[in-house]
Structure 1
């Protein structure tokens, strides 16, 4: 169960961003009015993560500090669930379940994000996509939340996508943003399309989530708690 939230007047709500990567979700929460703290095992994320960053195990940090935050977001590694793993046959951690269990133990409202193929591991997730937010890409991501979240209208996929690694054109205005050996021009264009211009690596932008998704979720969370927040003078 989740516990009552105490947000003192004049204080921004705080979100703990687990498996934070380079901060795509973090920036969206920030834009929605949150102070953000990120946690990731990869120390290289610190160079580009735009807010407070802690290098370490996400679940360990959550269990130790999760009660200090108003909401917890987690984006467990998705490689186990992606179709590509059917070909590379590598071993990846299955962290959606353990992350959910830890979030529920801490008792704060939570969000879990992952790819479409992870749907069987998630509880009644909502799907978000680029055109819902006027972004030039089809980037489906699933979000399981412990609070009400309504999916925006999902525009039809009518715009054509450029091939992965190619810049968009007038005929194919949408970008395909997945891993590969891409040019720096492609990386900059992808970061601009996603709304993550501070991310300067190809891997970073390919793993990022558009901040617009987190802005939507953060705004919905604040709206859902308007009548239930305990506000102290």
Structure 2
């Protein structure tokens, strides 16, 4: 597969907390050039990659891009983490991410799990795209006009997720793309169910979102988003935003 950087007039997306590149591949298919950022090495990331802190890169480079996509760590919100790590606290980077996007005037997409404190401008599910996972995710967008896929809200799940839950085994048309054992999907099943073939690392697959989600969002942005729409903030607001970000990074 060739990812040409010479193509003219392609919008650019900065993919923060990028992990293996599930979101990135969707944007590329929608017509974007993609640069990913993660604090951990991601040698299988299929596009240009920067090993760095996401918020630091956001502050330095975001105005070079038409869109910022952010998938901040979800441990502060997910029910799985709350059930297994009681008493442990996790940093929530969503407020800092949103404020930086607003300050720099770049359009954004913030993605996270149900329970996260983001606007539910868009809610996507694997069933909407004919995938073998449900993987419900909420998306907050920095522009108006992105509709839910036409098949909602009338679409029904075709059955349960395969595996053990509360001591009962259920067979169904979807795999559980997290954890191991208990009927959960193996690496090959997760690759096929989500449409992710370039990584075979279990941890990366369990954290990824299917590229179909961001391909849909990316095409909607090209249609309805405002490329490079910016505003000039008050200097005092700038200092407040940067100070809050520094506090978050230090904790």
User: Would you say same fold, with TM above 0.5?
Assistant: yes
Does residue 138 (structure 1) correspond to residue 134 (structure 2)? The answer is yes
Instruction: Find the aligned partners of 1:50 and 1:187 in 2 and give their Cα distance.
Output: 18
Instruction: Find the aligned partners of 2:21 and 2:82 in 1 and give their Cα distance.
Output: 28
Residues 182 and 202, structure 1, Cα contact 8 Å, conserved in 2: no
Instruction: Find the aligned partners of 1:179 and 1:48 in 2 and give their Cα distance.
Output: 21
Does residue 151 (structure 1) correspond to residue 148 (structure 2)? The answer is yes
Query: Which deviations, in whole Å up to 9, do the C-alpha atoms of 1:60-116 show, x marking residues without a partner?
Result: 101100000011000000011011232312221111111111111121110000001
Provide the TM-score with structure 2 as the length reference: 0.78
Instruction: Find the aligned partners of 2:77 and 2:138 in 1 and give their Cα distance.
Output: 12
Provide the TM-score with structure 1 as the length reference: 0.84
Change (3 A) 1:160 1:86: closer
Residues 120 and 138, structure 2, Cα contact 8 Å, conserved in 1: no
Question: Aligned to 2:217, what secondary structure does the other structure show?
Answer: helix
Q: Runs of 5+ in structure 2 lacking a partner?
A: 1-6, 165-170, 229-251
Does residue 198 (structure 1) correspond to residue 198 (structure 2)? The answer is yes
Residues 180 and 186, structure 2, Cα contact 8 Å, conserved in 1: no
The one of 51, 63, 76 aligned to 2:72: 76
Q: Runs of 5+ in structure 1 lacking a partner?
A: 1-8, 165-170
Equivalent in the alignment of 1:56: 52
Change (3 A) 1:105 1:181: farther
Query: Which deviations, in whole Å up to 9, do the C-alpha atoms of 1:30-57 show, x marking residues without a partner?
Result: 00000000001112x2x11000000111
How many residues of Structure 1 are paired with residues of Structure 2 in the alignment? 211
Instruction: Find the aligned partners of 1:10 and 1:85 in 2 and give their Cα distance.
Output: 43
Query: Which deviations, in whole Å up to 9, do the C-alpha atoms of 1:166-209 show, x marking residues without a partner?
Result: xxxxx6221111123589x8111111110111121111110000
Question: Aligned to 1:84, what secondary structure does the other structure show?
Answer: helix
Change (3 A) 1:157 1:57: same
Residues 44 and 198, structure 2, Cα contact 8 Å, conserved in 1: yes
Instruction: Find the aligned partners of 2:193 and 2:50 in 1 and give their Cα distance.
Output: 28
Residues 39 and 54, structure 2, Cα contact 8 Å, conserved in 1: yes
Between 1:134-143 and 1:16-25, the stretch displaced more is 134-143
Query: Which deviations, in whole Å up to 9, do the C-alpha atoms of 1:104-155 show, x marking residues without a partner?
Result: 112111000000111xx11243110001111122110000001221111232
